[in-house]
């Protein structure tokens, strides 16, 4: 769901990806087969990535439409690991509707499109995935809806992904399934292809059993994940929640704290905190053009003493409205001087047709208007609100211009924005205010950790960040940069695949 963009240098370990000693480095050998009236594509792929979306998007250029690599965190993490793996396929939806695309190669990746109809998109993606699972897994910040026709659509789409993965994967291949949109796939794939090594990684939080139990389809979804040999989560807490759930539902027995037994088969559970392409962010932040852009940005802001920054999708889980409320109260209490502090809030568009998101946008824009109306000057608003997607270069300039980064979600699987900001602080300046309910808080312990539900505590953290002494800021940032550098995206993919290979 996030827009993080990384193209890491290629250093993926083929022996870990494939679990073999002899690797055919040619592209997958495609074979046409006919089952009934349906034409299918088979290949002897040794590694198959299964994700809701393909890592590309179709754009209009001078020569017509063409594919471009999407700016996504998953692409950043997996592309380097795939580079040396030989026979690799990536299955996913293109984002188009009623489009039947042939498999194709792009930017060193072999891509297999999985089609969706408008109805399937509405039921599977907009309905079950984002109307049921997303709010439930994020502590029901908004109520989750339970509709049988949503689940029916979700199940049909998951079956299509599983069938395609079974068709593409070679004998004994490794299949890595990703995220909450495809939780039934591992179980379906296990039934069809018991020879496969199957991994699953959940990019969002996994809720406590007490919340998950509300799902009418709790057994089916749990069994779906139990089809994997290795189930990965952003944090060890997510693994603990699933461990208790599976045992409590009577669908598995306990082997160890990190392993379950299902029908005599071992299922391992573990936290794998995802990282970013640290090298890319670190290098880009010191690029002369980015440095100049950051200086120009501060000048356009009126050269304030401190710049605060928030970069989020406009989503009710991100706590944008609470963050703005805290800032508004600090201005009213004169604990922050509006002539010395400016705030930039990027809120990238998200699901504008959904009532909860429309209400959130109205709330956020009302708060921005109130703050600027009460405390802004002609030509110098206090809050600069951007309801648009920003390019990688623009984000780099914002990260470099910002003295304080505000990352205050009510719940988040990881939140890579926090890590991106840290990676850009090559001079060890800046402060990070971070929600304790983001997965990143388990690693970035030298951030100013806050409970985003506690507005007074959030206000105190913002003031502390603004007034932090340079030596203290440097000590904290140095420690966080060390963590981000040691746990980058390539390490994440490598560690997961190594663990899966040994499962």
Instruction: Say whether 355 is catalytic.
Output: no
Q: What is the pLDDT of residue 35?
A: 32
Contacts of 348 (CB under 8 A, 6+ apart): 3, 312, 313, 314, 387, 388, 389, 390
Question: In CATH, what class is 44-275?
Answer: alpha beta
pLDDT averaged over consecutive 10-residue blocks of the chain (503 residues)? 35 31 34 36 75 85 76 68 72 87 84 95 96 97 96 98 96 96 98 97 97 98 98 98 98 96 97 93 94 96 96 96 98 96 95 86 96 93 95 96 98 96 97 98 98 98 98 98 94 92 88
Instruction: Say whether 412 is catalytic.
Output: yes
pLDDT in tens, 280-334: 999 999 999 999 999 999 999 999 999 999 999 999 999 999 999 999 999 999 9
Contact indicator for 158, 166 with CB cutoff of 8 Å: no
> The domain 278-487 is classified under which CATH number: 3.40.50.2000, 3.40.50.300, 3.30.1540.20, 3.30.200.20?
3.40.50.2000
Q: What is the pLDDT of residue 28?
A: 37
Q: Among residues 120, 25, 75, 444, which one has the least CA distance to residue 280?
A: 75
Contact indicator for 198, 190 with CB cutoff of 8 Å: yes
Which among 203, 240, 315, 446 is annotated as catalytic?
Answer: 203
Q: What is the pLDDT of residue 83?
A: 63
Angle at 217 between CA 265 and CA 235, to 5 degrees: 60
Which among 179, 412, 446, 491 is annotated as catalytic?
Answer: 412
pLDDT in tens, 343-359: 999 999 988 778 889 99
User: Which H or E element spans position 166?
Assistant: helix 148-168
* Residue range(s) in the chain whose domain bears CATH number 3.40.50.2000: 44-275, 278-487
Q: What is the pLDDT of residue 71?
A: 65
3-state secondary structure of 87: coil
């Amino acid at each position: 769901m996030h827009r993080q963009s990384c193209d890491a240098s290629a250093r993926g370990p083929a022996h870990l990806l494939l679990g073999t000693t002899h690797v055919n480095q040619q592209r997958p050998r495609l074979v046409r087969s006919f089952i009934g009236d349906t034409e299918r594509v088979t290949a002897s792929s040794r590694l198959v990535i299964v994700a809701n979306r393909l890592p590309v998007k179709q754009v209009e250029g001078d020569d017509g439409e063409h594919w471009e690599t999407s700016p996504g965190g998953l692409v950043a993490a997996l592309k380097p690991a795939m580079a040396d793996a030989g026979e690799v396929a990536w299955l996913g939806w293109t984002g188009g509707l009623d489009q039947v695309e042939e498999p194709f190669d792009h930017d060193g990746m072999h891509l297999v499109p999985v089609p969706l109809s408008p109805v399937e998109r509405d039921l599977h993606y907009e309905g079950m995935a984002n109307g049921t699972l997303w709010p439930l897994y994020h502590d029901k910040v908004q109520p989750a809806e339970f509709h049988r026709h949503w689940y029916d659509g979700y199940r049909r789409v998951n079956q299509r992904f599983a069938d395609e993965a079974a068709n593409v994967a070679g004998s004994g291949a490794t299949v890595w399934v990703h995220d909450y949109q495809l939780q039934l796939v591992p179980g379906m794939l296990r039934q069809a292809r018991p020879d496969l090594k199957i991994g699953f990684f959940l990019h969002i939080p996994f809720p406590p059993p007490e919340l998950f139990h509300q799902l009418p389809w709790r057994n089916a979804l749990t069994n779906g994940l139990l089809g994997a040999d290795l189930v990965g989560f952003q944090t060890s807490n997510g693994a603990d929640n699933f461990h208790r759930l599976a045992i409590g539902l009577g669908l598995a027995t306990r082997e160890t704290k990190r392993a379950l037994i299902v029908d005599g088969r071992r299922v391992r559970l573990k936290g794998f905190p995802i990282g970013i392409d640290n090298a890319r962010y670190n290098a880009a932040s010191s690029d002369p053009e980015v440095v100049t852009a950051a200086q120009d940005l501060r000048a356009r802001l009126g050269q304030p003493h401190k710049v605060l920054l928030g970069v989020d999708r406009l989503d009710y889980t991100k706590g944008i409205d609470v963050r703005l409320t805290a800032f508004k109260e600090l201005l009213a209490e004169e604990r922050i001087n509006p002539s010395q502090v400016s705030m930039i809030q990027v809120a990238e568009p998200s699901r504008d047709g959904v009532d909860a998101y429309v209400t959130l946008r109205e709330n956020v824009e009302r708060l921005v208007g109130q703050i600027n109306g009460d405390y802004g000057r002609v030509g110098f608003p206090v809050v600069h609100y951007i309801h648009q997607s920003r390019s990688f270069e623009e984000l780099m300039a914002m990260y470099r211009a910002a003295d304080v980064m505000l990352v205050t979600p009510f719940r988040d699987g990881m939140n890579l924005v926090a890590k991106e900001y840290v990676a850009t602080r090559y001079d060890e300046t800046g402060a990070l205010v971070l929600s304790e309910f983001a997965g990143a808080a388990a690693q970035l312990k030298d951030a100013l950790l806050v409970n985003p539900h506690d507005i007074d505590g959030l206000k105190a953290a913002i003031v502390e960040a603004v007034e932090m002494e340079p030596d203290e800021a440097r000590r904290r940032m140095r420690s966080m940069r060390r963590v981000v550098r040691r746990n980058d995206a390539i390490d994440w993919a490598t560690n997961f695949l190594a663990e899966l290979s040994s499962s």
